[in-house]
Chain A
Amino acid sequence: MREIVIISGKGGTGKTSLTAAFAALAAETNNSVLCDADVDAADLHLLMQPEVQQRTDFMGGSKAQINPELCTGCGTCRTICRFGAITEQFEVDPIRCEGCGVCVDFCPVSAIDFPVQRCGEWYISNTRFGPMVHARLGIAEENSGKLVSLVRKEARQLAEQRGADLILTDGPPGIGCPVIAAIGGATALVIVVEPTVSGIHDMERVIDLAAHFRVPGMVCVNKFDLNLEMTEAIEQMAQKRNIALLGRAPFDPVFTHSMVAGKTLFEYGEETATHQRVREIWAKIINSPSMNPLGIVDFKATIQ
């Protein structure tokens, strides 16, 4: 089972548009499963129009709840809560509550309940490019890393059941808990970078993170023609870090137009040079040594 995880560090560089385009290309030759691991602001479904087959609640952590009939107002909970989550009226602010349960254990009259929270939902769906596992984290919820791990695990199981040999995972932006949960154990990372000062800065941080996990990586510069010097700087930095270069995709309004139409790049309009470039990028990904490891993990091939 091989899994490609598409990440970027910076948001809005084109991860999801490219993932969707790759999904269309993968469906031409491979039997693959799609996975949207950006559970916080998931967008892949807008291009995939999944038909949900199975819907499951995601139960995250618990939160404290004070029973006013039992509460004596002794103030113990307010004193020990390190998150400032208990108001002067002895109510729990759910936004601030960390779910540590310390108040629950130390309340002298056991007036605090600790119900498990439904933090979101996850889905198994059908799409025109194969099955898809995706999720929706509730607004203002925690545990996004846990939900990312869950959708990746489910995608893997589904791939095994359906005899699929490839998982295409759309990752979250940033370098925090959801990204850490998204990249561990991936066969290879595809890092989508835009040639801007922030794009290169954020790429460097996500590469540093990926180096921890000893995952092979490949870089694709999106909107490369916005700044050619920066594109070259990105490619040089990638090579220094042992990251394969996949090529350059242009800044082309066709990406926005196809998105507005709810379609992937390859379902929209005439084939142009942009389509050709994205095809070449996909061919490099799927034929890369890191995607064809013959079961051997070569740590020299990972991001350094």
Chain B
Amino acid sequence: MIISVASGKGGTGKTTIATNMALALGGRVELLDCDVEEPNAHLFLKPVIERTQGVETPIPLVDESKCTFCKKCSDICRFNALAVVGKRVLVFAELCHSCGGCMLVCPEGAITETGRELGTLNFGKRDAIGFINGQLRVGEAMSPPLIKRVRAAADPERITIIDAPPGTSCPVIAAMNGTDFVLLVTEPTPFGLHDLKLAVEAVKLLGIPAGLVVNRADIGDDQVFAYAENGGLPLLLTIPFDRKIAEAYSRGKMIVEEMPEWRQRFIDLYHTIETIVQGSRAAVCAK
């Protein structure tokens, strides 16, 4: 079971939901923090990091002694990451998407690959709960390759909970694609609703069942609730605005620790998701 927690709008409570659900479920879970630009889950779950590993993406390395400056490499590159200028081949490493086209097309075999640092993967544990996060190198523009590496490192034997980045473009797609369920988190405000609608479109595009958590449920207005009801988006949990929760969050404290009555609610949330996923699998098989 892979559950991704996403939102469209930032700051709605993705990390809160992902970490509290992980802590409530315990050692069956592995939490992946795929918000690699701004990973925060470790600030709340406080795992002991056991291992850190650098992650690179391949980029071309040109051996100019073999190069005939035929320009086939710069012609094939759609990302303008190579330029042939006189008797030099310039590689603009930060523009490279690691497609390998230049290496394939080079008639002289003058291109091999080296790496560009994307960031790091950190592996750890909070008690028995598995934890992995990716941390994008500051200055690196492309987060999806690192997000895919975090995903690839997941333990398939465990329940995977993914803390996704905000937005609806390629980073969040990399975090949600191929998951069994998307748990959307929003707040009942015009911004929350607008970005929720975008997130729902993204989820539909990927064809993944989804459900909604409304955080700070009593601020704002009721349009998010009306939208969920009319659009058949099941409302799975509401969390009221509580200054105590907000202040606990500010210090890095978790809801299920500060208010133990929430533990069972997060366990129930997981069981509801499990039922929905089994139902949609059954529906797919019936077709």
Contact = CB atoms under 8 A, between A and B. Distances in A.
A227 B168 contact: no
A198 B43 contact: yes
Given A177-B141, A260-B220, A99 B78 contact: yes
Interface in B155-211: 165-171, 173, 177, 189-191, 194-195, 198, 201-202, 205-206
B138 A197 contact: no
Given A10-B10, A46-B194, A197-B43, A260 B221 contact: yes
A201 B247 contact: no
A162 interface: no
Given A12-B12, A100-B78, A230-B250, A176 B40 contact: no
A12 B11 contact: yes
Contact of A175 (B8, B38, B190, B191): B38
Contacts of B37: 173-176, 179, 205
Contacts of B247: 226-227
A107 interface: no
Given A10-B38, A140-B205, A262-B190, A174 B169 contact: no
A268 interface: no
A280 interface: no
Interface in A255-282: 256, 259-260, 262
Contacts of A99: 78
Contact of B10 (A11, A83, A262): A11
Contact of A11 (B11, B105, B171): B11
B169 A144 contact: yes
B139 A40 contact: no
A139 interface: yes
Contacts, number: 178
Interface in A48-64: 61-62
Given A82-B100, A227-B251, A11 B220 contact: no
A102 interface: yes
Contact of B40 (A198, A251, A253): A198
B70 interface: no
Contacts of B15: 198
A212 interface: yes
Interface string B65-93: 00000000000101100000000000000
A176 B140 contact: yes
A144 B169 CA distance: 8
A10 B11 contact: yes
A160 to B, nearest CB: 27
Interface in B77-135: 78-79, 97-101, 104-105
Contacts of A140: 168-170, 173, 202, 205-206
Contacts of A256: 189, 219-220
Interface residues of A, number: 60
B195 A41 contact: yes
Contacts of A82: 98-100
Contacts of A13: 11
A145 interface: yes
A80 B101 CA distance: 8
Nearest to A175: B37
A227 B251 CA distance: 8
Nearest to B75: A105
Nearest to B7: A11
B166 A41 contact: yes
A195 interface: yes
Interface string A17-61: 000000000000000000000001101001000000000000001
Nearest to A101: B78
B141 A100 contact: no
Interface string A236-254: 0000000000000001010
Given A100-B79, A139-B202, A227 B250 contact: yes
A102 B101 contact: yes
A9 interface: yes
B246 interface: yes
A86 to B, nearest CB: 13
A14 to B, nearest CB: 9
B262 interface: no
B249 interface: yes
A77 B95 CA distance: 23
A197 B252 contact: yes
A209 B140 CA distance: 9
Given A137-B169, A144-B169, A176 B250 contact: no
B138 A205 contact: yes
A175 B170 CA distance: 14
Nearest to A197: B252
B136 interface: yes
Nearest to B202: A139
Contacts of A226: 246-247, 250
A113 interface: no
B142 interface: yes
B9 interface: yes
B43 A201 contact: yes
A106 B101 CA distance: 9
Given A12-B11, A41-B10, A197-B251, 9 more contacts: A12-B166, A43-B191, A80-B104, A82-B100, A95-B205, A100-B78, A173-B37, A177-B141, A196-B252
Closest A-B pairs by Cβ, 9 of them: A11-B10, A12-B11, A100-B99, A174-B37, A177-B141, A102-B101, A227-B250, A40-B167, A197-B252
